[in-house]
Amino acid sequence: MVELRAEVDLIPESMVAEYGGVRFMDQRGDGACVALDPVSRLCTIYDIRPTVCRQFDRGSALCRSILISPDAVRRLVSAASLSA
């Protein structure tokens, strides 16, 4: 989860969840960030994204594992086998 910094990360409230008094970016059922477009996999709030997202090493192994989740891989494999 992406913890939000008070008075620094000014994210729309509709994208925020709170657990134990700590504010986080909310997540979809598959664990993806609610700000991540499910089709393009691009951040929909890129210009105002949280600090931790700004510091995230884009293209790293962790980044790729998040963008290509096991569910996404299964869908791609399934789609490829149907078209073969």
The model carries a pTM of: 0.64
Distance separating alpha carbons of residues 52 and 74, to the nearest angstrom? 29
pLDDT of residue 27 exceeding 70, the answer is yes
Domain edges within the chain: 13-83
Radius of gyration of the chain (CA): 15
Per residue in 5-20, pLDDT (tens digit) is 988 999 999 999 999 9
Per residue in 28-78, pLDDT (tens digit) is 888 888 999 988 888 999 999 999 888 877 777 766 666 666 666 566 556
pLDDT of residue 84 exceeding 60, the answer is no
